[in-house]
Structure 1
């Protein structure tokens, strides 16, 4: 007869309660100070407190961390954006000044312009997979172009988007009338906004406002490529956001650019899915067949699909005063963005189905994928 095994000594719940309370205090402190807090950091800090509280038997295992997170309703998030670095007093001061800055201008005459990088071949970096199964992908595409977006406050006048690439006339533009594109094509060696491109665009914008006999405001950030006195303007007044505050104060950064990009990504996924049924290629290989002509069409169409309700809501979120009558008819921007995210997620599930099986054909057509 085998001797009875001695029960393993465990740490009673009430003995670890003080460790957990102290650890949760650290979590809250780091959250308020906007410092990233990882699981290993919580575990290490818990061990330190256990030692200080004379609890040497406490083990900050992965199982404890999981239970601790569930008990305290914690979840792991990716740190994104720069809004945490914007001083609230700067935001409050700007918001208080806004009514005076826009006094005398109607919403149709208040504009915001900004540039954003578009990785036009990049697929989502997250995927559904069976539990316990490795989820591996190929090298992420870093092919970038720049989209320049400009809209007025009530969303009734979205200017034609500008797309900036590296080549003056890419090979895929052969036999293509550039005037027929849904965007304006510009180029420089870094595919980014330059002072020359900005001043040319601003001069042309001011000329159109002069022809329409309109006096307008243009809100822009203080990027080096946006010099305040580079061009003489007659009908456009430039107003610059305070430095490093656009993540909270610029309307385009409150969801307008994100709405365009989500719709663009949905078009990219649809194009990959349409070829995945016919090509013996992986999703990343199909995505590499996307060219800047495809990207121009998709950016143009995606920009056109951003609704006036989304634009007005984002201006309001940035602190711009809006009429109560207009607000009653608006759709919350989150509803619009959630709809796009859901559609993209569904496309992603289908994408993985095709990527994980062997496909039949091997030829890749070079024509633009107009989706």
Structure 2
């Protein structure tokens, strides 16, 4: 979802489906044209490349249509415990936080020893809408995983997956490895007929036919986040990665007090494990899902985010409407309009489990208020 496939991807997908059924006949030269004739709801459109500063971004024009995916029947049926968000974060080994220190009053500046090397390590983390998390996939930079990367006691990392890539980031192969060894086996629903949801960035390694077909086989729906929207729509970005890096750097700082030599090295994973225990809490994880509006589902959450781009007249008009709703009204008409808008955003969100034009909200004293047309216009979601 959110990622239009190319002709080549559709052909490869169809070829794999045939192969699974034992048919290895190659698709004909004009198979794609025949596919489009059989499916008139789809058509081919030329994709125009645009500068990254101009394409998409966290704007109302991007977020509104993307959220429409969440009202598809097959997505609405997915239970919160089967909804997941995965993302990749990197840390520089031995990098600790800046902070205040006590020094001689005559000193103008002070420098602090930075422990460890400048080795880059990345981690794939995955959290659920109910506040649980999966073991990480650790990706070291190099041709292979070296023994010096590990502490003597490996009991804390028994369920972690460890690998290495040339640049220390996810490759096509490691993305599939994570699916096969971590996500698919550890999130299997008790009822095999139930679907899963995996919210993720549209990185190239997530867009390969092998990755997407593996998800298709296991009923895993993939809503790809629009480019440049992670800071608004990614639960891990909003409430987990920042404290995770904070606690990691803090742990490295503790080690630097205990030794004059480079203290991290084999303790790098231990520092990260300690940081995970403090950052990956149920409240932090649920807070990220709620802040993005991904669970409970609420398009109002990202649309009211201070990080939202106002890159069009419509976006600016909507933002002004939301802002003016909380100003003192100058007339009775303004008062009624502001009151309706505020009721629509009571407690920070609207539970969008049915079309807004039929939805009612409970007022502060148990009164039922129909969402005003002004609120519906702000959300850009009318159920049509």
Please indicate the TM-score interval, normalised by the length of the shorter structure.
0.5 to 0.7
Give the Cα–Cα distance (whole angstroms) in 2 for the partners of residues 270 and 177 of structure 1: 21
1:296 paired residue number = 269
Q: Would you say the 8 A contact 1:163–1:296 is kept in 2?
A: no
Q: Report what 1:226 is aligned to.
A: 206
TM-score, normalised with respect to structure 2: 0.53
Distance 1:211 1:96 in 2: 25
Gaps of 5+ in 2: 1-55, 299-384
**Residue in 2 aligned with 1:124?**
97
How far 1:147 moved relative to its partner?
1.1
Work out whether residues 215 and 236 of structure 1, in 8 Å CA contact, stay in contact via their aligned partners in 2: yes
Distance 2:151 2:99 in 1: 35
Matched with 1:206 is 184
| Alignment partner of 1:263 out of 238, 244, 247 | 247
Report what 2:137 is aligned to: 162
Distance 1:123 1:179 in 2: 23
Give the Å deviation of 1:210: 4.7
Secondary structure (helix, strand or coil) at the match of 1:218 reads strand
Is 2:292 the counterpart of 1:318? yes
Structure 1, unaligned runs of 5 or more: 1-83, 325-371
**Deviation at 1:272?**
2.0
Task: Give deviations 1:147-199, integer Å, cap 9, x for gaps.
Answer: 110011111x3100111113423325486658854632111222211110001
1:1-150 matches, cutoff 5 A: 86-95=58-67, 97-100=69-72, 102-128=75-101, 133-137=108-112, 142-150=118-126
Q: C-alpha offsets along residues 272-296 of structure 1, whole Å, 9 cap, x if unaligned?
A: 22x1xxx4x3xxxx4x3311x3121
C-alpha separation in 2, matches of 1:249 and 1:297: 30
Deviation at 1:302, TM superposition (A): 2.3
CA RMSD of aligned residues (A): 3.0
Deviations 1:121-149 (A, max 9, x none): 01224444567612335679532100110
Query: Matched residues in 2 for 1:195 and 1:323: separation?
Result: 31
Which residue is 1:70 aligned to?
Answer: none
Inter-partner Cα distance in structure 2 for 1:87 and 1:228: 27
Displacement of 1:207 = 4.2
Write the deviation string for residues 33-84 of structure 1: whole angstroms up to 9, x where unpaired. xxxxxxxxxxxxxxxxxxxxxxxxxxxxxxxxxxxxxxxxxxxxxxxxxxx9
User: Distance between the aligned counterparts of 1:294 and 1:107, measured in 2?
Assistant: 36
Contact kept? 2:225, 2:233, Cα under 8 Å: yes
SS at match of 1:244: coil
- Contact persistence 2:97–2:246 (CA under 8 A): no
SS in structure 1 opposite 2:76? coil
SS at match of 2:290: helix
Aligned length in residues: 229
Residue in 1 that maps onto 2:356: none
Larger Rg: 1
**Corresponding position of 1:31:** none
CA pair 184-301 structure 1, distance change in 2 beyond 3 A? farther
Secondary structure at the counterpart of residue 230 of structure 1: helix
How has the CA–CA distance of structure 1 residues 209 and 161 changed in structure 2, closer, same or farther, with 3 Å as cutoff?
closer
Under a length normalisation based on structure 1, what TM-score does the superposition of the two structures give? 0.54
